[in-house]
Chains A and B, each alone.
Chain A
């Protein structure tokens, strides 16, 4: 990372990805779902990953959890969670870290909870997976946690089954389950996509509250730029399995330095944009992860490649280069070209 500010330089990040590559051997060929992903995240901070469908957000987050089956996924690079490399650690080490060091909230709470066990049973087993805790004590913790995430009558509802909860309450259960062992890192993969707008807001409030209380790092995957603007400290933009831009949320929103990010941002005029604003689709198809285009992966959809000298976009892969304070982008356009070419709003300002 470039230009790490002195105030934060002394603290080592809780999560650090270094050149993570995840590929799957399929009948059609090798799918490079994550191709050299690097970023880092500190305790108490929120990092949002944005990018269109198939850009490798979920694959990356599951690699952090060590959830890719060893048989089908080929993984290289490093995923450091509190200094331990998940990629090379033993299965037992990773298992013992799941839920305690890093936990995950999934998108669809109904299918992500076991239909045959009570919510309490599913919380209790999570507690008991990480230490000798009596069942009654684990139950007390389950009830306290359900209460903490805002489930009324927690002591009674702990005996109920997932299908007896509403969608929003179910997602609160998922959050309780993820947080019950006080993890330092919580990954939320589109935690509110399956919910309606008012419930989305409540769920995000719960997460924010809990972050204030427990100081965990949150890795938030979302399609909702309004949510990103409101909750994230840093943003990682992914495209075709790679990071194409990353930086503090203000930088990314006010000075995006990559045509793909411009495409994402052009639908969000400013930070106070209401929640629920969706990414407008960018013309063209996402790249095939089996046969990546030569040169810049975004080039087939990029309107600005003509501005780059010697047709580099067609032949060379741009590196992730510093373009501002803690701000990197993967583009051959120079910073001055960026400033000149960035799409403008009606008032003549740069997208901001």
Chain B
């Protein structure tokens, strides 16, 4: 078992290294010239060339990658121009944003907590809601609670999040003034404002996802409720609630955990639309801004971080299999 964990962890590191190569190459072949982006409109070709050399952008790609990758592991130094003092970009250094005049790592570090809060809250909401309604639907298979829940989840599942988000914003904030306009404060600074701002983004993200988990949970439950060990559990005289949750739901958990882990991983990379609608300074909004500004180092950094979340989520899901299923653990 420990061997498996180590092996799986090693392969995750290899994947991360491969990922960094791919992300770097992807953004190196883009037509945007990073050297041209280092100075404003009045930039002369001489300055551009000077900057190109100073940033090593004239070097071969392999060498450029080495510098970039080393920066992530060990940090690096930059200087803004002739005569200006050098400054350091400590590890993990994802580069320097000339348009924002800040280390990419700092920009991302500011944005990540916002996205984590958004993802975590939405995750709790959609899992609670999705699992509960899925179990209820399965236990009432074919009867009205099932039909109603299935109908609602089908509609919810097909609504795009921009629609749900905008409707909530327009109805509850603009028209009915039930909530103030969103204005993000970290929970440590102002918990009340934080909650008031986050509640609609949470609902927006959770709404569509919950529908998917309702359906997934229902499918799983309908299947496991027909298993022989469920009959055994009843034959022992266990209460129906124990049979349902402890035996049936637990047995059907594997695909649910897989989907939930990946969904959470993806969401941690930024909820572009929801963050945009509710004015949340998270990864999604940072990504949009940097694309608009053609801020290549930031785009590269965000892509790398977002993809890393997914790879790590994959690893965590694999580890959870072992917690859930002893046959995997003891194999």
Interface residues of chain A, those whose CB is within 8 Å of chain B, are 65, 67, 91, 95-100, 103-104, 106, 108, 111-116, 118, 125-126, 129-130, 161, 163-164, 174, 177-178, 181
Nearest CB of B to A25, in Å: 12
Most A Cβ at <10 Å: residue of B246, B324, B326 = B326
Residue in A closest to B143 when the chains form the complex, CB atoms = A71
Cα distance, A318 to B132, chains bound together (Å)? 53
Can you offer 14 A-B residue contacts whose CB atoms are under 8 A?
A91-B240, A95-B234, A95-B238, A97-B237, A98-B235, A99-B236, A106-B235, A111-B228, A115-B251, A115-B327, A116-B326, A125-B236, A164-B330, A174-B232
Chain B residues with Cβ below 8 Å from A100 are 237
Chain A residues with Cβ below 8 Å from B227 are 111
Chain A residues with Cβ below 8 Å from B63 are none
Nearest CB of B to A305, in Å: 39
B233 at the interface (CB under 8 A from A): yes
Chain B residues with Cβ below 8 Å from A98 are 234-237
Asked if A96 contacts B232 (CB within 8 A), the reply is no
Known: A98-B237, A126-B236, A129-B242. 20 other contacts (CB 8 A): A91-B240, A95-B234, A95-B239, A99-B235, A100-B237, A103-B236, A106-B228, A108-B228, A111-B227, A115-B326, A115-B327, A116-B325, A125-B236, A126-B238, A129-B237, A129-B239, A130-B237, A161-B327, A174-B232, A181-B237
Asked if B235 contacts A104 (CB within 8 A), the reply is yes
Asked if A112 contacts B228 (CB within 8 A), the reply is yes
Query: How many interface residues does chain B have, given as a range?
Result: 20 to 34
In the A-B complex, the 3 residue pairs with the smallest Cβ-Cβ separation, listed nearest first, are: A99-B237, A98-B237, A111-B228
Asked if B232 contacts A112 (CB within 8 A), the reply is yes
Contacting A at CB under 8 A, from B201-259, are: 227-229, 231-240, 242, 246-247, 250-251
Residue in A closest to B235 when the chains form the complex, CB atoms = A104
Cα distance, A116 to B227, chains bound together (Å)? 13
Chain A residues with Cβ below 8 Å from B239 are 95, 129
Chain A residues with Cβ below 8 Å from B246 are 125
State the total of A-B contacts with C-beta under 8 angstroms. Answer: 79
Nearest CB of A to B45, in Å: 68
Nearest CB of A to B225, in Å: 10
Chain B residues with Cβ below 8 Å from A125 are 236, 238, 242, 246
Asked if B327 contacts A163 (CB within 8 A), the reply is yes
Chain A residues with Cβ below 8 Å from B229 are 111-115
- How does the 8 Å CB contact mask read for B19-37 relative to A, with 1 for contact and 0 for none? 0000000000000000000
Cα distance, A116 to B324, chains bound together (Å)? 7
Cα distance, A113 to B232, chains bound together (Å)? 7
Chain A residues with Cβ below 8 Å from B235 are 65, 67, 98-99, 103-104, 106, 178
Chain A residues with Cβ below 8 Å from B233 are 114
Cα distance, A99 to B250, chains bound together (Å)? 22
Nearest CB of B to A333, in Å: 40
Cα distance, A97 to B232, chains bound together (Å)? 14
Cα distance, A239 to B85, chains bound together (Å)? 97
Cα distance, A181 to B239, chains bound together (Å)? 16
Asked if A106 contacts B237 (CB within 8 A), the reply is no
Cα distance, A67 to B228, chains bound together (Å)? 12
Cα distance, A164 to B330, chains bound together (Å)? 9
Cα distance, A97 to B237, chains bound together (Å)? 7
Chain B residues with Cβ below 8 Å from A126 are 236-238
Cα distance, A65 to B324, chains bound together (Å)? 31
Asked if A114 contacts B237 (CB within 8 A), the reply is no
Most A Cβ at <10 Å: residue of B231, B233, B237 = B237
Residue in B closest to A181 when the chains form the complex, CB atoms = B237
Residue in B closest to A108 when the chains form the complex, CB atoms = B228
Cα distance, A99 to B239, chains bound together (Å)? 12
Residue in A closest to B224 when the chains form the complex, CB atoms = A114
Chain B residues with Cβ below 8 Å from A112 are 228-229, 231-232
Cα distance, A115 to B253, chains bound together (Å)? 13
Cα distance, A103 to B234, chains bound together (Å)? 10
Residue in A closest to B324 when the chains form the complex, CB atoms = A116
Chain B residues with Cβ below 8 Å from A129 are 236-239, 242
Asked if B236 contacts A116 (CB within 8 A), the reply is no
Chain A residues with Cβ below 8 Å from B240 are 91, 95
Chain B residues with Cβ below 8 Å from A161 are 326-327, 330
Most A Cβ at <10 Å: residue of B227, B234, B250 = B234
Residue in B closest to A127 when the chains form the complex, CB atoms = B236
Cα distance, A126 to B242, chains bound together (Å)? 11
Contacting A at CB under 8 A, from B73-121, are: none
Of B231, B247, B250, B326, the residue contacting A106 (CB under 8 A) is B231
With A111-B228, A115-B229 as contacts: A177 and B236 at CB distance below 8 Å: yes
Nearest CB of A to B118, in Å: 33
Nearest CB of B to A130, in Å: 6
Nearest CB of A to B81, in Å: 63
Cα distance, A130 to B238, chains bound together (Å)? 8
Residue in B closest to A174 when the chains form the complex, CB atoms = B232
Residue in B closest to A130 when the chains form the complex, CB atoms = B237
Chain A residues with Cβ below 8 Å from B325 are 115-116
Chain B residues with Cβ below 8 Å from A181 are 237
Cα distance, A118 to B237, chains bound together (Å)? 18
Cα distance, A159 to B147, chains bound together (Å)? 42
Asked if A116 contacts B231 (CB within 8 A), the reply is no
